[in-house]
Amino acid sequence: MNMSQERIAHWFWRVLTGLVFAGTLAMLFLPPQRAAAQPAPGLIGTWRVALALPGGDLPFNMVVQRDKTGPVVLLLNPPERMRAEEVTLQGNTLSFAFPSYGSRITLRLGTDGRLSGEANLMRSAGPATVAVSGVRGAWRFSPTPAKAAANLTGRWMMSYGPRAVPSVLEIKQTGNRVSASVHQPSGDARYLAGEVSGNTLSLSTFDGNAATLWIARLDAGSLKGAQFTATGSKAGTAWTARRSATAKDTIEAVATEKPPVDRIPIRFPDSSGKMVSISDPAYKGKVVVVTLGGTWCPNCHDESGFMGPYAARRKKEGLEVVALMFEYGTDAPSAFRLMDRYKARYKLPYPLLLAGQPTPESSSAALPGFGPIKVYPTTLFFGRDGKLKEVHVGWAGPATGKLNLEAKHHFDETVTRLLRTRA
């Protein structure tokens, strides 16, 4: 090696050594990079989760998976697959929430491979905490149910509670597996899923906040059982059902009532503090639909899923929608936060106004001459002349199939008729 080559080699190694040294220093002083939160491998998959109710465990199925945004939780009430609005994961603790309900479920994976935790649910008496447990599996009530004593597929006419409220129970059964819906004059129980084991029918649903358990036995061709809720009694609410004898056995998808008054002075604040009235110039000469509901109401959630796109589609024709929300408690800032999250979830293009609490006294004060509100949701239809024309009570959600189609058709007919009528 000549002198020139030795100099080149000397400077090459000096530069290389300097670069390595600088890189090492940079690694020592740069802050550590946080990896994107991903579900722990032990949490991925399908789980059988149960809420501890006074009347027994209420099971539902849950899928934990990954997508580009991070961890995903799906609540399964076949055929519905409801995605949790928010999901967080820290180690082996999974937390998912439905801010539009104000509810949250937290689960921890133990060394035995089981889940344990609690559900914080919104109820009329305030937040309720319910114990939750879970095991891996796709079964709901029992991993090996007994052979079904009968196929219960079809329509059943139900008598519910001490007042024998007439209701409709629709059942679809394949082998042991069952999907069903219960529709009452006030609304439906959403998607029910479960099984028939021997002569026992077991159904449940959980949508992140609303939770009901239905257990019955088949006796001499009739079903006799009880329905349980997260904060109800240990005995539950008794019900019986018999097979429908005719296709005409049903109840109304939505009841129609005659307005008790022509006008209602509606004026309430939105979450920004702005007072909104249907007497404002923006509503003059328009058909105005006023929905009466609350973020706590599962049937109101289903109605909003329909109402948002419908209101946007027919706005150019002169339709306006306003939602009056009756929320639990007296904490207005908390109620407005819930309402904003509810509005965001369903992308509602109309104002949500805080009108009071879901009590007879509060709703009567909010709606002079009309209240109290007996059923949530209730829908008021005002014509272009500002007068109350029609009242719809209750809502048949998507779980009810044909009844849901009837509810939407009835709503559309009423709006179309009013839009065609000039003031």
Q: For 259-284, what is each residue's pLDDT tens digit? A: 999 999 999 999 999 999 999 999 99
Q: Are 176 and 260 found together in one domain?
A: no
Look at residue 91 in the predicted model and tell me its pLDDT. Answer: 85
Q: Are 293 and 203 found together in one domain?
A: no
Q: Are 288 and 365 found together in one domain?
A: yes
Q: Is residue 29 part of a domain?
A: no
Q: Are 397 and 261 found together in one domain?
A: yes
User: Is the pLDDT score of 296 beyond 90?
Assistant: yes
Share of the chain above pLDDT 70, in %: 90
Q: Average per-residue pLDDT in the chain?
A: 90
- Give the residue among 303, 79, 304, 84 at the shortest CA–CA distance from 209: 84
Q: Are 259 and 170 found together in one domain?
A: no
Q: Are 228 and 271 found together in one domain?
A: no
* Domain at 295, CATH number: 3.40.30.10
pLDDT tens digits, 46-87 = 999 999 998 899 999 999 998 888 999 999 999 999 999 999
Q: Is residue 26 part of a domain?
A: no
pTM of the model: 0.87
For the residues 365-382, what does the mean pLDDT come to?
94
Q: Is residue 15 part of a domain?
A: no
Contact 262, 388 (CB under 8 A): yes
User: Is the pLDDT score of 30 beyond 60?
Assistant: no
Look at residue 13 in the predicted model and tell me its pLDDT. Answer: 47
Q: Are 205 and 159 found together in one domain?
A: yes
pLDDT tens digits, 381-402 = 999 999 999 999 999 999 999 9
User: Is the pLDDT score of 21 beyond 60?
Assistant: no
Provide the residue range defining the domain that includes 167: 154-243
Q: Are 287 and 413 found together in one domain?
A: yes
Look at residue 272 in the predicted model and tell me its pLDDT. Answer: 96
Q: Are 287 and 360 found together in one domain?
A: yes
Look at residue 423 in the predicted model and tell me its pLDDT. Answer: 67
Look at residue 26 in the predicted model and tell me its pLDDT. Answer: 45
Question: For residues 250 and 108, what is the distance between their CA atoms, to the nearest angstrom?
Answer: 44
Look at residue 25 in the predicted model and tell me its pLDDT. Answer: 40
For the residues 288-316, what does the mean pLDDT come to?
97
Is it true that the peptide bond before 372 is cis, omega within 30 degrees of 0? yes
pLDDT classification of 192: cutoffs 50, 70, 90: very high
- Given 214, 243, 272, the domain boundary residue is 243
Question: For residues 303 and 328, what is the distance between their CA atoms, to the nearest angstrom?
Answer: 19
- Given 71, 102, 136, the domain boundary residue is 136
Look at residue 249 in the predicted model and tell me its pLDDT. Answer: 79
Contact 310, 414 (CB under 8 A): no
Q: Is residue 227 part of a domain?
A: yes
Structural domains of the chain, count: 3
Q: Which residue has the tokens 């008729």?
A: 417
Share of the chain above pLDDT 90, in %: 81
Q: Are 291 and 211 found together in one domain?
A: no
Is it true that the peptide bond before 41 is cis, omega within 30 degrees of 0? no
Q: Which residue has the tokens 């604040």?
A: 269
For residue 306, give both structure tokens: 């329909």
More confident residue, 20 or 123: 123
pLDDT classification of 245: cutoffs 50, 70, 90: confident
Q: Are 415 and 266 found together in one domain?
A: yes
* Domain at 201, CATH number: 2.40.128.120
Q: Are 238 and 294 found together in one domain?
A: no
Look at residue 40 in the predicted model and tell me its pLDDT. Answer: 55
- Given 243, 276, 306, the domain boundary residue is 243
